[in-house]
Amino acid sequence: MGTLGVLLTYPMDSYLEEELDKRFKLFRLWESPPEKRMEFLRSHSQAIRAVVGNATVGADAETIEALPRLEIVSTFSVGLDKVDLEKCRERGIRVTNTPDVLTEDVADLAIGLAIAVLRKICVSDRYVRSGGWKTNGDFELTSKFSGKSVGIVGLGRIGLAIAKRAEAFGCPISYFARSEKPGVGYKFFPSAVDLAASCQVLVVACALTAETRHIIGREVIDALGPQGVLINIARGGHVDEAQLVLALWEGRLGGAGLDVFEREPSVPEELFTLDNVVLLPHVGAGTRGTSKDMANLVLSNLEAHALNKPLLTPVL
């Protein structure tokens, strides 16, 4: 397997990088300056037969076209929005991702964000650290999460895991998806706007596609309203950030918990001073155990491909 040339697009996980270096011939894209990366790809185009990307840098059309011997793209993520699937399909390039192993972590974080926003956990932490409790007395009253109606945009693996957790808090669950899911027992709404109008906490958990980009725009935000909370643990591109910032500043939205952003790692600075917003640096799957599980899944898919065995998690 050492003859399989693998392009790692981004420094995403130290264990994964070490194992790729041990098992394959590894090329690190970020070691080349951005303005020389196409030259780097062309110079190694005959050796690179696999690409390992993630939610930051994947395999776009330009990268794929620069690699005529590319056979497989194995992404260190469940999302596929950084992989040009159509180009891969045209070329007969196999694609794998890392589903299931990160579901529980992402679902945990979604609930954690909702509680953090409603109970103002981050704000009250700063209140203690700054001496406010000692000098100004008790912290302000907040809102509870238990019993809040929760709407979920996208009821796939992660959406269902979020629903299960929210149910444990006594939260009524409803959802919007491309189609109604048989046998789930949750109320289905035919649009994201209708869902937002019916819930107090709206969680975005769907895949990012052309159809779902900016699915959370002004109309959905206004339907959620000044008492509503938006949680996004999916992809930043689902939310029209300009409209979100405006709604939060104007008081048309009650709060937001965000793990993902449109132009990561850039985050709208207008959000930094808002106490009703919790911001995280895309850490939904960022636990040691899950990161290693994801890495092992990437490695196993690459080894299966090299040995001409069935892929573990094929997308294409």
Active centre residues (catalytic): 235, 264, 282
Is there a contact between 207 and 81 (Cβ–Cβ < 8 Å)?
Answer: yes
If one counts every other C-beta atom within 10 angstroms of the C-beta of residue 202, the result is 30
Cα 66 to Cα 31: distance, rounded to the nearest angstrom: 17
Length of the chain: 316
Strands in 5-8's sheet, in edge-to-edge order, are 25-28, 5-8, 48-53, 72-75, 94-96
- Name the DSSP letter for residue 308: T
Is there a contact between 233 and 203 (Cβ–Cβ < 8 Å)?
Answer: yes
Q: Hey, what amino acid is at 235?
A: R
Cα 256 to Cα 164: distance, rounded to the nearest angstrom: 21
Helix (H, G, I), strand (E, B) or coil at 279: strand
Cis ω for the linkage preceding 265 (within 30 of 0): yes
Cα 50 to Cα 199: distance, rounded to the nearest angstrom: 44
Cα 224 to Cα 233: distance, rounded to the nearest angstrom: 17
